A and B are shown apart, each in its own frame.
Chain A
Amino acid sequence: MRVRMAAGLVRGLLVAISATGLAMSAQAQEKKIKIGVVFDLTGPLAGGGSELGYIGAKIVLDHFAKTGVEGYKIEAVYADAQSKPDIAINESVRLLEQEKVDMVLGFFSSAQCVPVAARVEQLKKFMWMTTCISSAVFNEKGYKYVFRPQASGDQFGMMTMDFIAQNAKAKFDKEPKDLRVAIIHEDGAYGVDVSRGNEAGAKKAGFNVVMKEGYSATAPDLSALVTKLKRAKPDVIFHTGYNPDITLLLRQAREQGLKFGALMGHGAGYGVYEKLKEGMGADATYIFNTDPISIWLANQKTMDAKLPPVIKMVGEEFDKIRPGVAIRSAHVGIGASNTYVFMSDVLPRAIKKYGGVDPDALRKAALDTDIPEGGTMLGFGVKFYGEGTPMAGQNERSFPVVIQYLEDKSHVVWPKSQAQRDAVLPLPKGTTYSNQ
């Protein structure tokens, strides 16, 4: 009897052990990271570039979903911020608290990034921003869980001013103090931030700032702004806007006879050439834009050898989704590259070195990031400002480039190290806006 009881006990024990083992092995197989991805898929920002950023990020996430990372499955949960900051906050919180995602990624609009970053930090969750640029996200905030490999807005503003400063004498035949510049911008976090960079750059270069003004991106009429620009007679206009405010401004500028020497755009709507061309026809030629370099224009010779095939893959996948696009927007590459940095560099380190995908492991892995120049598809390197610094979480190695649209192609014209051709400056005689 005792023997039978002992045998039963042993049998039960064996069953229990094997069941536990099976459960553990199932758990091991189900190791996964859930990533909440937030972009604007509806509303005005969707067509202004957000959907293109989403496509870029999704291509990379789908790519890693096929292989997994360090034994972890990749599961992306997508949400639409609807071009509204409150929706972006609610969706991020919903993803983190109800969908139980391990982190959130994406975000196109700076007006969304600023409040969402504050909320995510409050929840002590991990956030990886791919696209928005406002410096206000980080400035003196001391966040621990928020990271952005993307260049910041003031860098955008400084870069275009630097470009004009270096070309003022040669191209405009004017000393910087005689060059009249106007800074106009949409009045959200993004526009205000870039305009601050513009202002700082203008001060540094010694330009004569004849006008600086913000406006609402949803304003139905910008004719008074155009009239003031006509009165101010700027040589160069530095404009930061989304779309359709860019096309509205330029249409009204044409109708009211505004003339200038050059128009410098700063990402967002200026990064979507197809839409500029549709709205302005031939007048889209000669416009400048500042953005991280398009991954298809970046110098692949100086790039990490494993990246060109990834760029090719992203391009092929994008062409399947959007066939026949004349210029693949830089937004696609920004979404793709900045997502790729996380998936190929930060995430493996978090799993291998810090033992998982919890916010602290991801944070430590992000802080360890040390990618040299040429180590990303966008050409720049990645190293984040550390804790205790004013811009903690911002990539200190990122930089935008200045491109010019010529003959339905975009060409990098600044900085010199990346330039592919000489810029056409000022606007040639006979073109619609030329002040020659």
Chain B
Amino acid sequence: MQAFLDIFDVYLLEAVINGILLGGVLALLALGLNLIFGVIDVTWICYAELVMIGMYAMYFMVQYYGVSYFVAAPLTTVLVAMLGAALHYLVIAPLLAAPPINQLLATGGVLFVLQSFATVAFGIDFRNLGIRLPVLAFGEMHFSYARLLSFLAALVGMVVVYLFMTRTFTGTAIRAISQDRQIMALMGVDTRRIYLITSAIGGALAGLAACLLVLQYDVHPFVGLSFGPITFLICVLGGLGNFIGGFIAAFVFAEIISLGGLFSDLEWGYVLAFAFFIVMMFIRPAGLLARRR
């Protein structure tokens, strides 16, 4: 009994809170990808690579050109938004009517292009922004401000995207298109413009994620490999296109990783999270928040 009670110590609480903070990071990453999938019905396999480009932009602006972090962050967000729009215009738009596998392969190709571009342009070195934020301490428990910022950004980002989608004409048009792509064009909505706006918003969210991840991780051409697959799984778990579902899925996933890693080997945390994903695909294949039909 005592051994069981010993589990409930301050470190368990720290692990729970760290799980929530990791969930914030993952939710931030999933937000943009979910939005794009929900509206355009195309999965940007290269989404994490857009984040990587954003991280490089932050690194060079802050470290090389001495731009303030607070100035560099909005510039990076705009830059990656433009990159998102360009990706849609150049790669996705010509393939909208093509089979999904072609779209998937095309964005997969962009993934390798961006990785190779980063390798050639920036080299293979790991680069660090060099900003060390203070630490929030409560007795034995310590938390990262960088993670707290990511968590808050994910929360605010989700609320803003939700309000944009439900309270504005463009947002309503985006939602309408996600429900029926063909009919909206017949009703006079410029679908090409809406797609472009959605892609830019998705890119901007990737840019925002980059601004916050660069405070926690080194930048290198392959940093996307650490996040890309897990972000995609979270979107699927939450229900592709359902960004509230994605938001919740990110926290569920992160808690399994954090607590699984605490009670067993770290690796088991990831194994449990992926096993949970597989089980949920059987139980709720359309995602955690999908309505039962």
Which residues of A come within 8 Å of B, CB atoms? 41-44, 46-48, 51, 83, 187, 213-216, 218-225, 227-228, 230-231, 243-244, 247-248, 251-252, 254-257, 275, 278-279, 281
Question: What residue of chain B has the Cβ atom nearest to residue A232's Cβ?
Answer: B11
B125 near A219 (CB under 8 angstroms)? no
- A256 proximity list for chain B (CB < 8 A): 14, 18, 135, 142-144
**A44-B222, A257-B137 known; A219-B14 Cβ under 8 A:** no
How long is the Cα–Cα vector from A418 to B240 in the complex, in angstroms?
60
How long is the Cα–Cα vector from A46 to B259 in the complex, in angstroms?
33
- Contact among B143, B225, B262 with A218 in the assembled complex (CB-CB below 8 Å): B225
Q: Encode contact with A along B255-293: 1 for CB under 8 Å, 0 otherwise.
A: 001111110011101100000000000000000000000
**A216-B267, A244-B126 known; A225-B135 Cβ under 8 A:** no
- Can you report 25 A-B residue pairs in the complex whose CB atoms are below 8 A from each other? A41-B124, A42-B119, A44-B220, A47-B126, A51-B124, A187-B267, A213-B265, A214-B265, A215-B265, A219-B266, A220-B226, A224-B15, A224-B258, A224-B261, A224-B262, A225-B261, A227-B18, A227-B262, A228-B11, A231-B9, A247-B218, A248-B217, A255-B135, A256-B18, A256-B143
- A223 proximity list for chain B (CB < 8 A): 15, 18, 21-22, 258
B227 contacts A by Cβ under 8 Å: yes
How distant is A199 from chain B, measured CB to nearest CB, in Å?
A: 15
How long is the Cα–Cα vector from A83 to B142 in the complex, in angstroms?
35
Q: Encode contact with A along B220-234: 1 for CB under 8 Å, 0 otherwise.
A: 111101110010000
Q: Encode contact with A along B1-43: 1 for CB under 8 Å, 0 otherwise.
A: 0000000010100110010011001000000000000000000
How long is the Cα–Cα vector from A225 to B258 in the complex, in angstroms?
9
B181 contacts A by Cβ under 8 Å: no
A214 near B267 (CB under 8 angstroms)? yes
Which residues of B come within 8 Å of A, CB atoms? 9, 11, 14-15, 18, 21-22, 25, 119, 123-128, 130, 132, 135, 137, 140-144, 146-147, 216-218, 220-223, 225-227, 230, 254, 257-262, 265-267, 269-270
**A214-B265, A256-B142 known; A227-B15 Cβ under 8 A:** yes
Main secondary structure of the interface of A (DSSP, over half): helix
- Contact among B119, B143, B266 with A222 in the assembled complex (CB-CB below 8 Å): B266
B144 near A220 (CB under 8 angstroms)? no
Given contacts A42-B221, A224-B269, A278-B128, 4 further A-B contacts (CB under 8 A): A223-B15, A231-B9, A244-B220, A275-B125
How distant is A87 from chain B, measured CB to nearest CB, in Å?
A: 13
How distant is B218 from chain A, measured CB to nearest CB, in Å?
A: 4
Question: What residue of chain A has the Cβ atom nearest to residue B125's Cβ?
Answer: A47
How long is the Cα–Cα vector from A216 to B269 in the complex, in angstroms?
11
- Contact among B125, B142, B147 with A257 in the assembled complex (CB-CB below 8 Å): B142
- B258 proximity list for chain A (CB < 8 A): 221, 223-224
What total of A-B pairs shows CB separation below 8 Å?
119
Question: What residue of chain B has the Cβ atom nearest to residue A277's Cβ?
Answer: B128
How distant is B55 from chain A, measured CB to nearest CB, in Å?
A: 12
- B147 proximity list for chain A (CB < 8 A): 255
How long is the Cα–Cα vector from A187 to B144 in the complex, in angstroms?
26
Question: What residue of chain B has the Cβ atom nearest to residue A251's Cβ?
Answer: B216
B257 near A279 (CB under 8 angstroms)? no
B11 near A275 (CB under 8 angstroms)? no
**A244-B217, A244-B218, A244-B220 known; A224-B18 Cβ under 8 A:** yes
B267 near A247 (CB under 8 angstroms)? no
How long is the Cα–Cα vector from A303 to B141 in the complex, in angstroms?
52
- Contact among A44, A215, A251, A257 with B267 in the assembled complex (CB-CB below 8 Å): A215
